[in-house]
Amino acid sequence: MMKTFVRRVTRALALAAAAAGLVGAGGCASYVTSDVTAFTAWSGGDVERTYTFKRTESQQNSIEQSTYEAQVADELSRYSFRPAAPPAAHYAIELQYGSRDATVVVRQPAYVDPWYGGPMGGPYWYRGYPSYGGWGMFPPPYVDQLYAIFMHGLTIRFTDRASGREVYKVTATTTGGSPSLVLAMPYLVRSALADFPLENGTTRVVRLPADLRAASNETAASNEKPVGSAARATPAAPAK
């Protein structure tokens, strides 16, 4: 998971504003990008899609939990799922979620004012290299810039209540510059449940407009083809 986290740093820096729910300057739409992985034993033979949420001990009486459950319930209604009392529910649905942070070091060129600090008002010299006009030094020096990056994740697990068998498990993760899981959760829920149910072992990238309310009349999600993988789905490596 850490390799995926590091690999997405560059993209996360570009999407930091989108992860905070902002819209890019100049009226250009920004997007929130999530990585989605799904495992399924879904038979498609369910006559009635009824469910109840199953909570851990720490999730009992949690307002945060009930808030996220409401978002999941709203998305499930798109696929004819209905909440029901536990005795009558076909599926039990569990939510796991959380965030983590890291500091990423990015090496980038450093440019200085070419007319600052030069002798007799002339151009600035650095280690024998002159700097002229707006081009800066040649070659330019490099500095290490620190960035705070946050990864947010959501796992939704479906269990058949009669047999206790897991029938569907999907995980969505997104990375950006905002530490708020609350802001990220609507995108994680929509990304995780887009095109439900996915094929077993599916891994894909889902891009959603940063303002979901403005996109309520648009398609639920647009897929971005990951480099070197199928446009729709790529079988995940078997678990060891």
**19 pLDDT tier (thresholds 50, 70, 90):** very low
* Cα 156 to Cα 93, 139, 150, distances in angstroms: 7, 51, 20
pLDDT in tens, 198-232: 999 999 999 999 987 544 434 444 444 333 333 33
**Would 10 be classed as within a structural domain?**
yes
**Residue 26 forms part of a structural domain:** no
112: how many CB neighbours lie within 10 A of its CB?
14
Residue 149 in any domain: the answer is yes
Q: What is the mean pLDDT of the chain?
A: 76
Q: Which residue has the higher pLDDT, 13 or 172?
A: 172
Residue 130 CB neighbour total at 10 angstroms: 13
For residue 81, being part of any structural domain is answered with yes
pLDDT band with cut points at 50, 70 and 90 for residue 47 = confident
113 in a domain, yes or no?
no
Summarize pLDDT for 101-149 with one digit per residue, the tens.
Answer: 988 888 888 765 555 555 554 554 444 444 444 444 556 678 888 888 9
Asked if residues 31 and 187 have their Cβ atoms less than 8 Å apart, the reply is: no
Q: Specify the pairing of strand 50-53 against strand 82-83.
A: parallel
- Residue 28 is given by DSSP the state -
Domain count, the chain: 1
Neighbouring-strand partners of residue 216: none
- pLDDT at residue 116 in the model: 52
Q: Are 38 and 198 in contact (CB under 8 A)?
A: yes
* DSSP characters over 160-190: ETTT--EEEEEEEEEEES---HHHHHHHHHH
Peptide bond into 197 cis (omega under 30): yes
- Tell me what the mean pLDDT of segment 178-183 comes to: 95
* Planar angle of CA 226, 232, 234, nearest 5 degrees: 65
21 is a domain residue: no
Q: Under a CB-based contact definition with an 8 Å cutoff, are residues 137 and 117 in contact?
A: no
CATH no. for residue 42?
3.30.160
Q: Which H or E run contains 192? A: helix 181-193
Q: What is the per-residue pLDDT across 52-101, written as a single tens digit (0 to 9) for each?
A: 999 999 999 999 999 999 999 999 999 999 999 999 999 999 999 999 99
Domain boundaries, position 8: 2-15+32-103+144-224
In-domain check, residue 135? no
Q: Classify residue 219: in a domain, yes or no.
A: yes
Are 177 and 12 spatial neighbours (Cβ–Cβ below 8 Å)?
yes
pLDDT band at 8 (very low <50, low <70, confident <90, very high): low
pLDDT level of residue 165 (50, 70, 90 thresholds): very high
Tell me what pLDDT residue 169 has: 98
